[in-house]
């Protein structure tokens, strides 16, 4: 994922971040609406109460960030995330849940979620997560990353491979990573290949998802 050009970056940083919220509890949606309303850089553009409605809403609004509850009737959040990502690969979705188990987190990330929040998160963390996912691509709270790391065996990556992986997660291409770490692009390609092999990933995006889900890296 290439970094945006300076002009487009300035435009994206001045325009409000357009958000939709998906949750089957109206009271919780009202709480999110009230939260978003106090931040000038965040704008609520739609709400839905189940996964099917979420897909239709996403198609019509094309939001910058989606807050998606995982447990809903008709169609759950994981399936809705998977279907939205299948149709809109660049969609940025934050999974919301009351449960912090590692299986739940894995399912959400593997479906294509770019972030994960517990519903009892404090107000500033929700707003920060939206901004982080919008501008940087990923948000996994430290507490969640540590919980995952406790249950999943750590894969032995070198310090350099972890550094490259973190830069990959930020959307840098090989030639950009090469400049940051002061190495040749060919060297970076070797690091990337080793990362994919060690993580058993088919591509860069899958490698980042695996690393985030296993607590190998965290970007917030």
HSE at residue 60, side-chain half, CA atoms within 13 A, is: 11
Give CA–CA dist 180/155, Å, rounded.
Answer: 24
Reported confidence tier of residue 165, pLDDT bands at 50, 70, 90: very high
Phi and psi at residue 42, to the nearest 5°: -120, 135
Q: Is the pLDDT of residue 163 over 70?
A: yes
- The secondary structure element, H or E, covering residue 27 is helix 26-37
- Tens of pLDDT, residues 42-68: 999 999 999 999 999 999 999 999 999
Q: pLDDT tens digits, residue range 170-189?
A: 889 999 999 999 999 999 99
pTM (predicted TM-score): 0.69
- H helical segments located in 62-184: 77-87, 102-111, 123-136, 142-151, 159-169, 174-181
Contact 178, 184 (CB under 8 A): yes
211 pLDDT higher than 70? yes
Predicted confidence (pLDDT) at residue 152 exceeds the cutoff of 70: no
Q: Tell me the percentage of the chain whose pLDDT exceeds 90.
A: 50
Q: What is the average pLDDT score of the chain? A: 84
Residue-range domains of the chain with CATH: 6-139 (3.40.50.2300), 151-213 (1.10.10.10)
Question: Smallest Cα–Cα separation from 97: which of 65, 119, 125?
Answer: 119
């Amino acid at each position: 994922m290439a970094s945006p050009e300076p002009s487009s970056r300035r435009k994206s940083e001045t325009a409000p971040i357009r958000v939709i919220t998906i949750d089957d509890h109206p009271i919780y949606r009202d709480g999110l609406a009230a939260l978003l309303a106090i931040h000038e850089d965040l704008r609520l553009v739609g709400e839905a109460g189940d996964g099917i409605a979420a897909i239709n809403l996403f198609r019509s609004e094309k939001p910058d960030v989606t807050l998606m509850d995982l447990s809903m009737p008709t169609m759950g959040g994981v399936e809705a995330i998977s279907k939205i990502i299948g149709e809109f690969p660049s969609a940025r979705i934050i999974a919301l849940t009351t449960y912090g188990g590692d299986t739940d987190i894995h399912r959400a990330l593997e479906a294509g979620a770019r972030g994960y929040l517990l519903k009892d998160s404090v107000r500033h963390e929700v707003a920060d997560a939206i901004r982080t996912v919008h501008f940087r691509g990923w948000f996994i709270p430290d507490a969640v990353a540590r919980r995952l790391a406790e249950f999943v065996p750590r894969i032995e990556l070198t310090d350099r491979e972890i550094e490259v992986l973190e830069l990959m997660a930020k959307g840098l291409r090989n030639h950009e990573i090469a400049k940051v770490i002061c190495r040749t692009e060919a060297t970076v390609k070797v690091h990337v290949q080793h990362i994919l092999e060690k993580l058993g990933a088919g591509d860069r995006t899958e490698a980042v998802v695996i690393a985030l889900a296993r607590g190998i890296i965290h970007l917030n």
